[in-house]
């Protein structure tokens, strides 16, 4: 008998007929005598709609009640699936995050799971009851509901799989696996049979939203076997696993991109020690995440300091810079909202030189101007203008021969 955790994303549970279809799949596994725990996202765009309601109610909704509101979408889908399963003769029970024993820290809207009390769900599973858990949520030490950040149901599933020592954590979604790049932007994208935790960490961290970054961190830390599959089509999907030494890794496994970037240029700062700290200190204090950073030496001992932030933090970041003008001492500030980050990811990069220059040549050939570059052992990222996103992804996909064979 195997223990399997199955997570279904929003698009895959957007109607009663889809939920009924999923119930039939669960019935098959149930009849094969497996212990099954199901994690559900909210139906379709429910979470977006709840967020809109909160933002219409207040300019800055208080975090506690905001989380109580946005977590409610998952309660609907989880309870509906339980109703459907019981109706077709499968014993099932639906739980909210806290009923399932999921404890988190106190960070509303981006909480981290700190511990899972599995007694109740283990008791159900041992009685062959299908346990359905509302994803994306837990309870904090003040007994308030918290949510785990957008896409957080992936993390609920992986954390439960780890706590139950499940044989596999299956993430069902609207694509049939992890692709070399987002199949919605590059028709030639190829499905990968397997990908290493490390590569998936980079892909998720660099924008491939197919798995929430935290879920991959969790899976990699606790070695949870993770598989991405299509919710309504058959297929083996993509297995995410540890790197095997004997494997000759592909040079590049994928291309990730993020569209929600913004660039800030602080011009005419003193070119002397401490400048970066003076600018980034107040930005960090305001809890604004900074990604890429470049400092160009200008003339007369002055430099330009450029960095990127999430687009929805841009306004806040510009206000912080304006407020701290006396400390930062700059001439002027400008910003760009229409930029994106494109990244090549692959463990094979470790042992191959020349990938970066091949990437830059390919972009130049396609008249894509690079604004910023950053590299690590297994990735190269460039910031480019948003209008060039599709050209760049498709050209790189061709250049590195990632297309369908
Ligand atoms: P869910 O609602 O099931 O959680 P998401 O929308 O979060 O689904 O993630 C699935 C989407 O991720 C796909 O529809 C696809 O457009 C996008 N995606 C981005 N990069 C990739 C990739 N490399 N492979 C597969 N899908 C990707
Ligand atoms: N419903 C939440 C969201 O839309 C969590 C999830 O789907 O994983 O972000
Ligand atoms: Mg998702």
Model confidence over 74-118: pLDDT tens digits?
999 999 999 999 999 999 999 999 999 999 999 999 999 999 999
- C-alpha of residue 157 to centroid of ligand 2, in Å: 12
According to the model, what pLDDT value does residue 300 have? 83
Task: Indicate the top mutation candidate among 136, 137, 172 to test ligand 2's pocket, ranked by most ligand atoms within 8 A of CB.
Answer: 136
Report, as an integer, the average pLDDT of 155-182.
97
Helix (H, G, I), strand (E, B) or coil at 199: helix
According to the model, what pLDDT value does residue 350 have? 79
pLDDT tens figures, 182-203: 999 999 999 999 999 999 999 9
Percent of the chain with pLDDT over 90: 86
According to the model, what pLDDT value does residue 1 have? 80
pLDDT tens figures, 295-349: 887 778 899 999 999 999 999 999 999 999 988 999 999 999 999 999 999 988 8
- Identify whether the C-beta of residue 238 lies closer than 8 Å to the C-beta of residue 194: yes
| CA torsion angle 307 308 313 315 (round to 10) | 60
pTM: 0.91
- C-alpha of residue 83 to centroid of ligand 2, in Å: 21
- Identify whether the C-beta of residue 305 lies closer than 8 Å to the C-beta of residue 265: yes
Query: Mean pLDDT over all residues of the chain?
Result: 94
Q: Return the structure tokens found at 371.
A: 């604004």
Edge-to-edge strands, sheet with 113-116 = 113-116, 102-104, 137-139, 145-147
Locate the DSSP E strands across 128-246.
130-134, 137-139, 145-147, 168-173, 194-196, 226-230, 238-241
Q: Whose CA is nearest to atom 8 of ligand 2?
A: 151
pLDDT tens figures, 376-387: 888 999 999 999
Report, as an integer, the average pLDDT of 264-272.
91
Q: Rounded to whole angstroms, how far apart are CA atoms 278 and 324? A: 9
């Amino acid at each position: 008998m195997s223990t399997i955790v199955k997570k279904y994303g929003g698009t895959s549970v957007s109607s009663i007929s889809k939920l009924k279809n999923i119930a039939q799949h669960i019935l098959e596994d149930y009849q094969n005598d497996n212990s099954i725990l199901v994690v559900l996202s909210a139906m379709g765009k429910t979470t977006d709609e709840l967020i809109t309601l909160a933002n219409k109610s207040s300019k800055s909704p208080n975090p506690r009640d905001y989380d109580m509101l946005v977590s409610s979408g998952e309660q609907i889908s989880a309870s509906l699936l339980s109703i459907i399963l019981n109706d077709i003769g499968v014993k099932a029970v639906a739980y909210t995050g806290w009923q399932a024993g999921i404890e988190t820290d106190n960070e509303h809207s981006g909480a981290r799971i700190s511990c899972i009390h599995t007694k109740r769900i283990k008791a159900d599973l041992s009685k062959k009851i299908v346990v359905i858990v509302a994803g994306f949520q837990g309870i904090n030490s003040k007994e308030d509901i918290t949510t785990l950040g957008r896409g957080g149901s992936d993390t609920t599933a992986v954390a439960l799989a780890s706590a139950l020592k499940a044989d596999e954590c299956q993430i069902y979604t609207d694509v049939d696996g992890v692709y070399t790049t987002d199949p919605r932007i590059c028709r030639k994208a190829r499905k990968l049979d397997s990908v290493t935790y490390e590569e998936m960490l980079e892909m998720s961290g660099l924008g491939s939203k197919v798995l929430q970054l935290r879920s991959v961190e969790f899976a990699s830390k606790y070695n949870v076997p993770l598989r991405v599959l299509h919710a309504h089509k058959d297929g083996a999907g993509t297995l995410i696993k540890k790197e095997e030494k004997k494997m000759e890794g592909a040079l590049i496994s994928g291309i990730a991109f993020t569209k929600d970037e913004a660039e800030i240029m602080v011009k005419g700062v003193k070119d002397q020690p401490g400048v970066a700290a003076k600018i980034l200190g107040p930005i960090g204090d305001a809890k604004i995440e900074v990604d890429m950073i470049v400092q160009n030496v200008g003339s007369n001992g002055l430099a330009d300091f450029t960095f990127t932030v999430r687009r929805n933090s841009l306004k806040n970041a510009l206000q912080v810079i304006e407020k701290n003008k006396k400390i930062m001492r700059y001439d002027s500030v400008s910003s760009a909202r229409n930029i994106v980050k494109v990244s090549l990811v692959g463990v094979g990069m470790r042992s191959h030189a020349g990938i970066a220059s091949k990437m830059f040549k390919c972009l130049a050939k396609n008249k894509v101007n690079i604004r910023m570059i950053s590299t690590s052992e297994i990735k190269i990222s460039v910031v480019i203008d948003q209008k060039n996103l599709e050209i760049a992804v498709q050209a790189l996909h061709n250049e590195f021969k990632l297309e369908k064979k």
